[in-house]
Amino acid sequence: MKLGSAFMLVGNNATSTTRSHSSGWFPNLFATTPSAQAVSATSALTVSAFYNGVDQISNDLAKIPFQVYKKTNQGRSRDRNHPVDKLISSNPSPLMTSFTLRKMLVQSAIVKGDGFAVIIRNNAGRPVEIRYTDYYDVHKVFKYDNDIWYSVKGYKNPLPSSEMIHIQGYSDNGLRGCSVIQYAAASLGISINAQAFASKSYDNKAISTGVLETDKEIKTTNKPLVASAFASAMQEPTTYRTAVLDEGMKYKRISLTPAELQFIETHKNGVVEVARWLNIAPQKLKDMDGASYNALEFVSIQHVSDCIQPWAVKIQQECDRKLFTPVEQATTYTAFKYNALMQTDAKSRADYYSKSIMMGWQTQNEVRTLEDLNTIDGHDQLLTPVNTQSQEQIQAALQNTNSDG
């Protein structure tokens, strides 16, 4: 129904001024679509803030370097020779890269509730492929014999949990996750309705719902003719829509304008609501009200710790317990390098690196590696400030000097 075609005729007699619902068309004046129950994954992604939030969270998680590490006496070192390192860092399957796999897993977990991938092993039981599996191809998840089993399309028998990478969204039973859309439907529905209202307003050049009023009595049989003529004029697909009113009729708007509905505020509130549901800062969804440089730097740190890290830990723990043998798990594990998300400006980085080198917690070559520069011979030693030496170190240095003299 076009916005310009919805109106009523009001005459001077009591019968004609009664707004009866019996005619069937009056309730549709204020109908809203879609309802909260009708919000789906597809319709939710038409809300720009929600789409941007899902895309940004999955992108940030996917672009962090994800690698295999081995514990050493000095701490840890990357184990590039381990076959799992290639699977998680670059090439999990012939169909997609590591970036795409992790992005798909997190997208599916947010929008649908679960992200799935099947672990393909060789005859020796070693993982050789991590194959992304569509949410709808996992028909059933159930407990049996103290394990979780998955009925997956294309597999004759259910697969045990050891053969599946399963990333859950919010879950109330530990078996299947729940889509955030299921709980955010009301908030997303308001944003979708606001978009639909704006589209209709622009399409109809902001012609609103209203009534035709007159002091003269209009016969009941003539009302449909007047209504039809006015509606026809208002629905003309031309640049100008003109209706000629006679019998002293006046058009009176009865619907609220976008300004009256605080349309802009509705959009702003929609961004904040989406940010709450996705656990992401509004500034990350391009809402820059009140933003400053210092605030944005803090938001970036908070974004990693509060939003990205929980998803990363889910993936990391799934990989650790399912891609390594029990013996390997004692010394080998996967890890994300979060520094990739926390790059600051050149001045701040230079100040940080200078302090880290001078205070002795990083070598010059370690800093060069962080900046994608080649290492230099002789720059692998930690530096120690002379004025921070212990009393024992000072005494030892004095004794060595005296003995040399």
pLDDT at residue 32 in the model: 42
Question: 92 is written with which tokens?
Answer: 């999990």
CA distance 276 to 284: 12
Q: How far apart are CA 243 and CA 245, in angstroms?
A: 6
Pairwise CA distance, residues 147 & 211, whole Å? 66
| pLDDT, tens digit, 9 for 90 and up, residues 68-121 | 999 988 788 999 999 999 999 999 999 999 999 999 999 999 999 999 999 999
Q: Provide φ and ψ at 87, rounded to 5°.
A: -65, -45
pLDDT of 150 reads 97
Could you report the per-residue pLDDT of 325-355, keeping only the tens digit for each? 999 999 999 999 887 776 655 667 777 788 8
Q: Residue 189 has what pLDDT?
A: 57
d(CA 329, CA 347): 40
Task: Please tell me what DSSP assigns to residue 305.
Answer: I
DSSP one-letter string for 24-52: SSGGGGG--SS-GGG--HHHHTTSHHHHH
Cα–Cα–Cα angle for 75, 80, 84, rounded to 5 degrees: 105
Q: What pLDDT is attached to residue 13?
A: 39
Mean pLDDT by 10 residues, the chain (405 residues): 40 37 35 50 78 94 95 88 96 96 96 96 95 95 94 95 95 89 67 56 54 67 70 61 63 54 53 86 77 67 89 96 95 90 68 81 83 81 74 75 67
- Give the model's pLDDT for residue 81: 95
Predicted local confidence at residue 190, as pLDDT: 52
DSSP assignment of 56-78, as one string? Answer: HHHHHHHHS-EEEEEEETTEEEE
**Helix/strand/coil for 166:** strand
- pLDDT computed for residue 299 by the predictor: 80
pTM for the full predicted model:
0.66
